[in-house]
Amino acid sequence: MGVVNELRQRTWSGMLNVEVVLNPKLVVQGMPDEQVRCHLRIPRESYLVLHLPFVLNKLRGVLRQEVKDAFHGWWFGMEDVLVHWNHPVGTLYDSLVGLRPQERAAQFQANTLTMWTLTLNYSEDARDGSVPLVGGMQQVEDFWRHQWKQACYIIHGSSKQIMSLSIPDSKTFWDCVLQRDERVFRGIASRITARKGGVKALPVRIHQTTLRELRTLQPTVKPGEWGGGTLGELLRAELPECFKNGSVLRPVVHGIEVSPESQLADLYHLFCSFDGFLHISICSPVALIIPTT
């Protein structure tokens, strides 16, 4: 397998160990600790809410309330911070735990367990700043398609490439996300992203974590605008405050640290996410602790 192919394959197949714990308010009193949590392996390249029905099936036995809708009202939290459902799982993990891959690798031992602990909560009213989830799986699919339309528009200046997909192809495209079929997914995605004579702009999102929130920037990234169009130049242009006092930023993509010298077009080609965007996580100097045990 070529280096690029393996890179893209690993990007697609990355998985995270996730522990989901029910908010104590949702649980029948006196339940043993192990009954109120479940342990899952979730693809980095998916949305957390796609797995909500599965999680609720696992935990419904100890819930105080009947599960009427497996999507509406349920939300994941991490240390009392809302975990938005509308970003890829891997990006959320990298950003919210303040991942420092090199340090993590240096500390890794054979008995190290890397696990992301999330709390599952329920509230009738939508949380501030979150996208309300009222339409179940269909809404997630529609949202994902809109992401691709945006990405397509940024690349080509119009959404024609995705809008002109046949209905079976369009359906297959989403099914590939659900069924984790990389080969077919890449085939359809490449038809949307390929452009003769180079792209107009690149769909990039920068996720910057501060102590209590996740800030997402969507800059206009036109290759060549900053000379070579490298990641470092983009970050200097978009986050100048992070370079004060000689600070060194360590951008993370798909759980690995990438070089600021990398060409953005190359990074997009290698690490484009399942929603058509290149997600870059930037951890501020005051980052949260990596939850390893």
Partner 1 sequence: MDLHQLYLDRLRQRDRIEGNFCYLFEAAVVLETAQPPQDSRDLVAKSLREELHAHEQEIHKLKDIVHLRSKDAEKLNDEIISLNIENSLLQDKLTALQAEYDKLIQRWLAKAQSEADAMNQGLA
Residues at the site binding partner 1, with contacts judged by CB under 8 A: 3-4, 6-7, 10-11, 14-18, 38-43, 46, 50-51, 53-57, 60-61, 63-67, 70, 101, 104-105, 108, 110, 112-114, 136-137, 178, 254-259, 261-262, 266, 270
Smallest separation, CB 262 to partner 1 (Å): 6
Backbone angles phi, psi at 164, to 5 degrees: -90, 5
Residue closer to partner 1 (CB basis): 213 or 266: 266
Smallest separation, CB 190 to partner 1 (Å): 18
CB burial of residue 291 (10 Å; 0-12, 13-18, 19+): middle
Smallest separation, CB 144 to partner 1 (Å): 13
Smallest separation, CB 271 to partner 1 (Å): 8
Exposure pattern of 30-63 as b/e (b: 16+ CB <10 Å)?
A: eeeeeebbbebebbbbbbbbbbbbebbeebeebb
Residue closer to partner 1 (CB basis): 18 or 287: 18
Cβ(293)–Cβ(115) below 8 Å: yes
Residue closer to partner 1 (CB basis): 61 or 157: 61
Residue closer to partner 1 (CB basis): 6 or 213: 6
Smallest separation, CB 76 to partner 1 (Å): 13
- DSSP letters for 247-288: -----EETTEE--TTSBHHHHHHHH--TTS-EEEEEE-SSPP
